[in-house]
Amino acid sequence: MMDNQRLILFVALALVVILMWDAWNQKFSPTAPTVATSQTGPAASTGSVPAPATAAKDTPSAATTVADAPAPEKAQAGSQTGLATQQRIRVITDVLDVDIDTAGGDLRRAFLRKFPTSADKATEPYPLMNDSLPQLFIAQTGLLSNKSAPDHHAVYTAEKTEYTLADGAAELKVPLTWVSPEGITVTKVYTFHRNDYLINVDHVVKNDSPEEWRGRLYRQFQRTEYDEPGKSRMLYTFTGGAVSTPEKPYEKIEFKKMAEWKPAQSYSTGGWVAMLQHYFVSAWVPGPKEVNHLFTRVLGDGRYILGMTGDETAVASGASQSFLTGLYVGPKDRQRMEKVEPNLILTVDYGVLTVIADPLFWSLKQIHNVVGNWGWAIVAVTFLLKLLFYPLSAASYRSMANMKKLTPKFQSIRERYADDRQRMSQAMMELYKTEKVNPFSGCWPMLVQIPVFLALYWTLLESVELRQADWILWITDLSAKDPFYVLPLLMGATMFIQQKLSANPGLDPMQQKIMQWMPVIFTAFFMLFPAGLVLYWVVNNTLSIAQQAYITRKIEAAAKA
């Protein structure tokens, strides 16, 4: 029968296997086909009339529109992406630096000014969106109609090529204009807000034609599959699509599954579609009562499309109609995202342990608000968790101490039945009964704490607040590995001390050798882990050593009395 130390060994190995499996998925999961490095085709049209209505791969299917889909992408001469490009418009706010192309009015590039690319490049903003290979990622919108309408291939005109949010101004509007010969004018207005990653995108249709105009809005992301800058190769975090509907508040879509993915319902109300990566998200967010059809596409050149198409709307002759939608381009900041759409906070994905991870993150944030340092917040939460689980830990350590007292008897049984392992196991079980020692009494308290550890693991891994957050001295980024490996070495040392304090004579020589190698294995593996996670483990082990030493001394003193 397995004793306490055997179970500890099993759990430790299981944790290593789980973490290594995550790393394996991240490093060796199937990837998308390589994006073609060149395409040929006529130069993009410079007029304002859309291309002829023919089948297209990069727009919503004809089944979801009121007309055939517009023409496929036309590559600008020399373009490697197949994306037409015209005039670029740069927009700078206090938190964003973006490029909008008059070809389609697409948002082609987005830099997050408050989030440096890395801790050692503090002046280099993080590039969340980009229209260059191999890291192509853009946001597109368009109108589909049985008459003239600008899709994301149409060419708009702009008043200026650069806009900057003025000091003291609350918002900044960037208008683009498209006019058809039939008298349809569409003004596409991007509205940026101070200290906000939510961009309002409005298509205002003015119908000066003699007939009614009918159409619908679509919005979509185009992206290639790639690892974002600075992403750890040893920690698996999801990169891909996600959608939210009333039927499924949060559904992730892997790139490799976008070709066959279908929504649970043909049309849904509200919700959102998004592209996710480790700490950041870009999401199209319609109005809460707006009805949309969700769709995905996989293009032959390695691009993936995720989007939504709205319901048809009529605009009478001489009337105007607004098609407003929201575009969130920023960090997975729960407080910000909840204001945009409550279910958007689900993109901070703690998995099945969310019920535990949520209060852990809340505790971390409250302590951070007081101490002003995420490293010390981790230390404080670890201390509180050890305090919470002290009764369980005490029971475990008492069991270990009682087992150590049986060392001579265990050794005698091994020597007596060295050639008969079955009889050796029976003799040990009889000893447990005689001495009234339960080898499992120290196991279950530890097992209860495993879900809490895993929940804290995901909390620290998923929290953008810890990205490039410093602690002390050389630890300048708790989301990156310790550059000098001091924390992993300290962790290995604390594991070694714990083993010496809890050495169990119930293990056979082979098991004891395996246990002796565990600190070395964990130290090597955790050298590649984020410093915040290793810090938690070091503090947890240190407190465990103190608790175990204290309880062991009490038991030994009581035995001598």
- The answer to which of 90-99, 157-166, 273-282, 409-418 has the lowest mean pLDDT is 409-418
b/e 62-80 (16+ beta carbons within 10 angstroms → b): eebbeeebbbbbbbbeebb
pLDDT at 500: 75
Look up the pTM and report it. 0.80
pLDDT at 33: 35
In a domain, 51, yes or no: no
b/e 134-170 (16+ beta carbons within 10 angstroms → b): ebbbbbbbbbbbebbbbbbbbbbebeeeebebeeeee
Residue 138 tokens read as 């853009």
Whether residue 294 is found in the same domain as residue 395: no
In a domain, 360, yes or no: yes
Whether residue 338 is found in the same domain as residue 471: no
Contact 304, 318 (CB under 8 A): no
Whether residue 246 is found in the same domain as residue 330: yes
Whether residue 411 is found in the same domain as residue 488: yes
In a domain, 45, yes or no: no
In a domain, 52, yes or no: no
Domain boundary among 321, 349, 377: 349
Contact 152, 141 (CB under 8 A): yes
- The answer to which of 78-82, 343-347, 432-436 has the lowest mean pLDDT is 78-82
The 3-state DSSP class for residue 427 equals: helix
Whether residue 205 is found in the same domain as residue 240: yes
Domain boundary among 349, 369, 388: 349
Residues 271-276 have a mean pLDDT of 96
Whether residue 243 is found in the same domain as residue 375: no
Per-residue pLDDT tens over the stretch 181-192: 999 999 999 999
In a domain, 478, yes or no: yes
> What is the chain's mean pLDDT, rounded?
81
d(CA 559, CA 561): 6
Band (pLDDT 50/70/90 cuts) for residue 320 is very high
Band (pLDDT 50/70/90 cuts) for residue 312 is very high
Distant-in-sequence, close-in-space partners of 292: CB < 8 Å, separation ≥ 6: 267, 268, 269, 271, 286, 308, 309, 310, 311
Residue 424 clears pLDDT 90, i.e. is over it: no
Residue 12 clears pLDDT 60, i.e. is over it: no
Whether residue 313 is found in the same domain as residue 445: no
The 3-state DSSP class for residue 429 equals: helix
Give me the DSSP letters along 260-277.
T---SSSSEES-EEEEE-
pLDDT at 51: 33
Per-residue pLDDT tens over the stretch 470-489: 899 899 888 888 889 999 99
Whether residue 99 is found in the same domain as residue 216: yes
In a domain, 44, yes or no: no
Whether residue 317 is found in the same domain as residue 424: no
Whether residue 115 is found in the same domain as residue 19: no
Per-residue pLDDT tens over the stretch 193-248: 999 999 999 999 999 999 999 999 999 999 999 876 655 655 678 899 999 999 99
Contact 129, 139 (CB under 8 A): yes
Measured in residues, the chain has a length of 561
Per-residue pLDDT tens over the stretch 112-149: 999 998 877 888 999 999 998 888 999 999 999 988 89
Whether residue 332 is found in the same domain as residue 401: no
Per-residue pLDDT tens over the stretch 56-112: 467 675 444 333 333 333 333 334 566 889 999 999 999 999 999 999 999 999 999
Band (pLDDT 50/70/90 cuts) for residue 41 is very low
For the domain that residue 284 is a member of, what is the CATH number? 2.70.98.90
In a domain, 368, yes or no: yes
Whether residue 279 is found in the same domain as residue 130: yes
Q: What is the 8-class DSSP label of residue 550?
A: H
Domain boundary among 319, 349, 379: 349
- Domains of the chain: total: 2
- 476: containing domain: 4-24+355-560
pLDDT at 232: 60
In a domain, 524, yes or no: yes
Q: What is the 8-class DSSP label of residue 317?
A: T
The 3-state DSSP class for residue 409 equals: helix
pLDDT at 237: 81
